[in-house]
A and B are shown apart, each in its own frame.
Chain A
Amino acid sequence: MDQAGFPALLEAARAGAEWAWSRLYADLAGPVLGYLRTRGAAEPEDLLGEVFVQVARNAGTFEGDYPAFRSWVFTVAHHRLVDERRYRARRPVEPGAIPDAALGMGDTEVEALAHLATGEVVALLGTLTPEQRDVLLLRIVGDMSVEDVARIVGRRPGAVKALQRRGLESLRRSLTSVTRAGTPTVTRAR
């Protein structure tokens, strides 16, 4: 993304120019979709569309450069993901439906990670706690700062730093066990 041309691009997007939204979508849709999917969104592509609609509606209130815009889009995506989780938690289970846990697919996020190209990465991310996964994905995939991540997840920057350090240590231990045994360890980190 051309930093110098971002203000004009944002202005055109605010005016409703489709070419401007195509540029923004091309830059941001992939990482946002990957974040939504790895975080276990039920319908990640639908959620991605909702994220961009909300971004388009509120683009008039945004002020900042492209990194700030990218951080803001991930913030919207995270909030939409939390809303979807709450909605799914309130929705009653239909009678007769067999829970996923009973079929051996209890962790929706692990199942979502199976859509990734590499099974090894899926298995390794499955070893992290949800908080560690949130922080590491926002830091790595979203390319966000510690302060931005802290604001999104509602924690202090110090807590975010601790979570990312423990998450990386867990991945490191898992990699070591994979190297030794040849298969990834799926025990969840604590």
Chain B
Amino acid sequence: MSDLNKRDVEALLGGRTPEGLEPLAALVERLRREASLSVDPATAKQHVAVAAAASREAPVPATVPGSTVRPLWRRRTVFAGLLSTIFGKVFAGAVALAAATAGAGTAGVLPDPVQEFFDGSHEIERLVEQVRLQEQDQLHLQDQTQLQDQTRDRDQLGEQTGTTNTTQQQQQQQQGQDDAPNTTQQQQQQQQGQDNGTANQGSTTTAAGYGYGYGYGPGEPGNTTSTTMQHQYGPGEPGGNTTTTQASYGPGEPGSGKP
């Protein structure tokens, strides 16, 4: 007895009768016919009623032809399937926590440590600005101390060389103030140092007198402090010394570094 080939198998299962396999084909046909059992009419009626009721209760999907949007119940099923996995639960929890934290942080109702962490970038900027202002104050104090020392030294020097006429001093001071080109030049030089803004911190520019220029940063509004100090030693008469000191601390113009 030879084995069945592929063609014989397909013929038998397709309801045809290959040559020499008539008994087997008859058996397959009997199986096909007798395996299809009739159902009790009462049972069949009950099954049909239950199936019809189940189909009416089932959610109706979208029937719009060409609609690419899944019906709501289908989307719910997909979302429920995603949530049924552990990764889905973790992901959904993380998203919900991040959203809740961001909202509470924006509203400022988080606990203090968390809120500070949430506002960390602003706090760091504020601390940096505070340190910068402290450094500026220290530099101002140092300048003032140096000016006081220099003034005291000059006064002591004047006392040693001779008596200074008050009127002459005033005249000399007036001359020094009227010496506009000299003063303008110093201010321009100081201004150049301030506008440079690179290595001008603590730099000293001296033309006819002493000029101290301090420029900080490229000049945010209110962030620029400039100090202008002029020490002029007028020609005066012998024994007369004139000292003029100007110090200005101003917010400056935005971005220009001008005092």
Binding site for B on A (CB under 8 A): 13-18, 20-22, 25, 29-31, 33-35, 37-38, 45, 48-49, 52-53, 55-61, 116-118, 121, 124-125, 136-137, 139-141, 161, 164-165, 168-169, 171-173, 175-176, 179
Contacts and interface: CB of A to CB of B under 8 A. Distances in A.
B34 A30 contact: no
A165 B24 contact: no
Contact of B36 (A16, A25, A30, A59): A30
Given A140-B32, A165-B9, A175-B23, A25 B51 contact: yes
B36 A34 contact: yes
B21 interface: yes
A172 B28 CA distance: 10
Interface centre among B28, B31, B60, by most A CB within 10 Å?
Answer: B31
A57 B47 contact: no
A139 B13 contact: yes
B138 interface: no
Contacts of B9: 161, 164-165, 168
Interface residues of B, number: 41
Contact of A22 (B23, B38, B48): B48
Contact of B58 (A37, A59, A117, A164): A59
A94 to B, nearest CB: 28
B95 interface: no
8 contacts: A16-B53, A25-B51, A31-B36, A55-B51, A56-B54, A59-B55, A117-B34, A136-B31
A17 to B, nearest CB: 7
B24 A141 contact: no
A-B pairs, top 9 by smallest CB distance, nearest first, are A16-B56, A34-B35, A30-B36, A56-B54, A56-B55, A56-B51, A52-B51, A141-B35, A18-B52
